Amino acid sequence: MSGNGNTCACGGAPKLIFPCSGAADVGAVADQAARKLTRDGVGKMFCLAGIGGRVDGIMKSVEAAGKILVIDGCPLQCAKKTLENAGFSQFEYLNLSDIGMNKGQTPPDEANIAVVAKAGCEKLD
């Protein structure tokens, strides 16, 4: 992240971010972290449902991406499996349970969102 703590010094080709955005608290944290990374210019949050639905334009955008980050909220790995089932295997991966955030115990507050955004930025750097 840059000196002000709000952005990442990530540059180069388009970077796409796919959070799980699930119904649990950790899904909300993953979603909000992806939105923060997008606001901060680190990458662009993209539509995971479009991957599941094999929407042609979305699939082509993913094929052309310079880097992909998948963020899952819990050990079920729904976002990761969605990308893999669509034939994508080259991506950075972040699972919130791997960094100590557990379903039902991780409120989607600014502190948790910042931790995940920082970890995501490091994966995309």
DSSP 37: H
**48-72 pLDDT per residue, tens:** 999 999 999 999 999 999 999 999 9
Largest interatomic CA distance in the chain: 40
Say whether pLDDT at 2 is over 50.
Answer: no
pLDDT value, residue 4: 40
Contacts of residue 71, Cβ cutoff 8 Å, sequence gap at least 6: 17, 18, 19, 20, 30, 33, 34, 79, 94, 95, 96, 116, 120
Read off the pTM.
0.89
Domain locations in the chain? 15-124
